Amino acid sequence: MSQQQQSGGSRIYLSSPHMSGKEQAYIDEAFRSNWIAPLGPHINAFEQELASYVGSRGATAVSSGTAAIHLALQLLGVGEGDQVICPSFTFIATANPIVYLGAKPLFVDSEPDTWNMSPVALERALRHASAAGRLPKAVIVVHLYGGMANMERIMEICDRYGVPVVEDAAESLGSTYRGRQSGTLGHFGIYSFNGNKIITTSGGGMLVSDHTDALERAKFLATQARDAAVHYQHSVMGYNYRMSNVLAGIGRAQLEVLDQRVQARREVYRRYEEALGKYEAIAFMPEPEGTCGNRWLTALTIKHPGAEAIIAGLLDALGEANIEARPLWKPLHLQPLFRGTTFYGHYEQGSSVCEELFRTGICLPSGSNMSPEEQDRVIAVIEDATRGLRSASTEAAS
Ligand SMILES: *Cc1c(COP(=O)(O)O)cnc(C)c1O
């Protein structure tokens, strides 16, 4: 994105860190007790507090969400030559750990109702795999932009085939599905505290599960797999994946305000919906019944034959007004890295749901620290850039 001076006021970011003010006190405590060494009391406390917030038996704090996915897959026995089912419509970090382990992703399309993993495509993928006598070792489900996937059907299908589920809840901390927190419905859940997520430690992640033995094993693997001996002894390969005590302190302060952050992001969404939802050509990411998303990013699609050009124009107009916006995630089966990888569409024929979302969608600035005045600036640019579209659709309707 251009760094040059742009018109329209100070820059509005997609999602910027939002401190509560209490972080410094936790950091100071770490300094006072000289617990700058990576492991320390903030880590245990952060793990317990997060586990209790989401309602899981335990949690293991790690250096990133990606590391948490890597550990979850390893704990499920994913290795060389195995297959792992993964949505195509997601950020690359969901799939990279599959490759770290020498396994292969099988990509599955989205469904129109949730934009997340299509149970129809998932079932077809598992049926094929089962017929070939080669079931995947795991299924990774993502709750994109904080919107919940269709967990009831996905869990039912995976249980039927006996394949464990990892929930990539990196974007959905605080979202609920029938009252249960995202990340606690599968066998493992992971969260990310990267700088752009709903709460942040500047960088970090968490693995949660009810399988406390597996979490112990995760801690072991994340600290260089050091055997219980005074001398340094290692029987298996490990990683340096633990979160530092200082960052865990920031996480504790952030977790205290998570509910407020969810509320603020939902309010940002509500204001967009109120201003733009009345236009026929604009469709927001749906929130299915029984779910409450954190609306990490407000995402919408343009319903119009010329949607691609309209999105391009919208991105340009927002960029010129010094506002950061992004297309929706580019499907992984379209990424050069994954050329030739198997992809199961929601529809057996024709275009895929996730390609359509990518072509016609956009994410809007959604930070919990964005002011209503800033949001009005975003809305005004969108209204202006889609004016032609609205008169065209009005004409078409009359
Ligand atoms: C951010 C993100 C991750 C990775 O988290 P990091 O902490 O940045 O490693 C994984 N999956 C999704 C869907 C994400 O948005």
Decide if 290 contacts 177 (C-beta within 8 A): yes
Catalytic residue, chosen from 104, 137, 197, 219, is 197
Q: Please work out whether the CB of residue 12 comes within 6 Å of at least one atom of ligand 1.
A: no
Architecture of the 259-393 domain: Alpha-Beta Complex (3.90)
pLDDT at 36: 67
Ligand 1 centroid distance, CA of 174 (Å):
15
pLDDT at 80: 98
As given in the structure block, the two tokens for residue 88 are: 């195509």
**Cα–Cα–Cα angle for 85, 128, 140, rounded to 5 degrees:** 10
Q: Please work out whether the CB of residue 189 comes within 6 Å of at least one atom of ligand 1.
A: no
Ligand 1 centroid distance, CA of 5 (Å):
30
As given in the structure block, the two tokens for residue 397 are: 């309707």
pLDDT at 393: 46
In degrees and rounded to multiples of 5, residue 138 shows phi and psi of -160, 160
Mutate to test the pocket of ligand 1, among 94, 192, 202 (most ligand atoms within 8 A of CB): 192
C-alpha pair distances (Å), 257 with each of 22, 219, 262, 293, 332 = 10, 27, 9, 16, 33
Which DSSP letter does residue 195 get? T
The CA distance from 60 to 74, in Å, is 14
The CA distance from 270 to 287, in Å, is 12
pLDDT at 230: 87
Mutate to test the pocket of ligand 1, among 15, 144, 168 (most ligand atoms within 8 A of CB): 168
Burial call 322-337: b when 16+ CB within 10 Å, e when fewer: bbbbbbbbbbbbeeee
Q: Please work out whether the CB of residue 182 comes within 6 Å of at least one atom of ligand 1.
A: no
**Cα–Cα–Cα angle for 261, 264, 265, rounded to 5 degrees:** 85
Q: Please work out whether the CB of residue 145 comes within 6 Å of at least one atom of ligand 1.
A: no
Mutate to test the pocket of ligand 1, among 94, 145, 166 (most ligand atoms within 8 A of CB): 94
Q: Please work out whether the CB of residue 194 comes within 6 Å of at least one atom of ligand 1.
A: yes
pLDDT at 389: 74
pLDDT at 40: 80
Q: Please confirm, yes or no, whether 197 is among the known catalytic residues.
A: yes
Ligand 1 centroid distance, CA of 376 (Å):
29
Start-end ranges of CATH 3.90.1150.10 in the chain? 259-393
The CA distance from 88 to 329, in Å, is 9
pLDDT at 34: 73
Residues of the chain with pLDDT under 50: 1-6, 392-398
Alpha carbon dihedral 26, 27, 30, 33, in 10-degree steps, equals: -90
**CATH class for domain 23-257?**
alpha beta
Decide if 187 contacts 180 (C-beta within 8 A): no
Decide if 394 contacts 45 (C-beta within 8 A): no
pLDDT at 32: 84
Start-end ranges of CATH 3.40.640.10 in the chain? 23-257
Q: Please work out whether the CB of residue 87 comes within 6 Å of at least one atom of ligand 1.
A: no
pTM of the model: 0.95
pLDDT at 38: 64
Ligand 1 centroid distance, CA of 395 (Å):
43
**Tokens 């119009």 — which residue?**
304
pLDDT at 7: 53
Query: Pairing relation of β-strands 104-108 and 343-344?
Result: parallel
